[in-house]
Amino acid sequence: MASLGFSVDDLLPRARGGGALKMGLTALLEDEWLQPEPDLTARRASFDTHPDSVQLTQRAVAAGEEIAAMLGVDGGLEGAARSAWEDMCLLEPDETGQTYRLIGAAVAFPTDWHPADKIGLPLVGLHKPIHGYADQLASGVDHFMTRLKAGRIFGRCNWFVSPTADLRWIDTQPPEITFAHVTPENAGETLFIRSERQTLRKLPETGAILFTIGVYVAPLGTLSPANIERMAQAVQTIPPEEAERRGAAHFAPQLQAFAVSAPASNRGLF
C-alpha cells in the first residue's frame, strides 16, 4: 500500500489538521510518485481552455525537456503535465544557491492561484498569503531544498474546504457569498474537501526541483466518519489568521454541525 494514497479519504489522515504549519514530508518510492491511472481527458480540456495555465521562463526549458524524457513524452513541461494527473512546477536556486524561485509551471487544476502571478517569485513570495509561513516554515523549507538529492522523492498533502467539485478552483467571490448556500443540513452535499497530493524531487541532469500537485476532491458527506470528524476538528483548530484567509467563518459552523449528525462509528481517533 502506498505511503500516500490517491484519494481524499486516503490523504486526509496524513495531512496537517490545525495548529502550527509543518512540512509533514513522507519518503516515496518511484512507483508511489504519480497517479497510476490519470484522467487525461480532464487534463487536456483544462489546458486547452486556459492556455495561461502554462508559464515558462527560458531557464525552465531544459528542465522541462528532462521531465518529459523521464515520462517518455514530448512537449517539455507542458507535455509532461498533460501526460500525468499532476500539475508540475519547476524551481531553481538563484545565484546564491540558497533561494529557490519558480521558473516554470503547468497547472491545469489550480487551487485559487494564477501561475502568471507567481512566476519568478522565491518560495517565501509564493507562500506570502499563508500566515506563518515566513516565521514557521521558510527556513526549514529552504534548507530542505538545498539538501535534496537526486533520486529521492518526498510527498505531503493538505486540505481545503471548497464550494465546488471543480478541479480548477479560482474563487472570484468573497466567502460570505461563496458559501451562502451552505447549511448544516446540506453541508454534506454542498461542501467539498479538496486535497493536494504534493511531491518534490530533484532532477539529476539540470538540478532543478520538480514540485508536483495532484488534486483530489470529494463531497464532505462521502468521506469516512473518521475523516468527517477529522475535518470538524481541523477547522476548529486552525489559527485565526488562517481561518480568516480560508473564509472559515462562513463554512466551519455548518461543517461542524453536519459532523455531529454524521455517523460516528470511527470517532475517538484523536
The per-residue pLDDT for range 125-158, each reduced to its tens digit, is 676 655 545 555 656 677 788 889 999 999 999 9
pLDDT (0 to 100) of residue 73: 98
pLDDT (0 to 100) of residue 140: 65
pLDDT (0 to 100) of residue 264: 55
pLDDT (0 to 100) of residue 94: 79
Full-model pTM: 0.91
Match 502554462 to its residue by C-alpha cell. 54
Task: Round to whole Å and give the CA distance between 232 and 229.
Answer: 5
Mean pLDDT score of the chain: 89
Q: 241 and 132 in contact (C-beta within 8 Å)?
A: yes
With b for 16 or more beta-carbon neighbours within 10 A and e for fewer, the 223-260 pattern comes to bbebbbbbbbebbeebeeeebeebbbebbbebbbebbe
DSSP secondary structure letter of residue 163: S
Angle at 194 between CA 47 and CA 256, to 5 degrees: 155
Average pLDDT over residues 1-30: 81
Average pLDDT over residues 23-43: 92
Q: SS3 letters for 85-125?
A: CCEEEEEEECCCCCCEEEEEEECCCCECCCHHHHCCCEHHH
Task: Round to whole Å and give the CA distance between 215 and 162.
Answer: 12
pLDDT exceeds cutoff 70 at 29: yes
Sort strands 160-162 and 100-106 into parallel, antiparallel or unpaired: unpaired
DSSP secondary structure letter of residue 13: G
Q: 63 and 77 in contact (C-beta within 8 Å)?
A: yes
pLDDT (0 to 100) of residue 23: 66
Q: 250 and 187 in contact (C-beta within 8 Å)?
A: no
Average pLDDT over residues 184-195: 97
Where does 68-219 show beta strands of DSSP type E?
87-93, 100-106, 153-157, 160-162, 192-202, 209-219
pLDDT (0 to 100) of residue 123: 77
pLDDT exceeds cutoff 80 at 30: yes
Task: Round to whole Å and give the CA distance between 184 and 186.
Answer: 6
pLDDT exceeds cutoff 60 at 266: no
Which is more confident, 238 or 48? 48
Average pLDDT over residues 226-246: 91
pLDDT exceeds cutoff 50 at 265: no
Give counts: helices (H), strands (E), the chain: 12, 8
Task: Round to whole Å and give the CA distance between 69 and 116.
Answer: 25
Percentage of the residues of the chain whose pLDDT score is greater than 90: 72
pLDDT confidence bin for 268, thresholds 50/70/90: very low
pLDDT exceeds cutoff 80 at 263: no
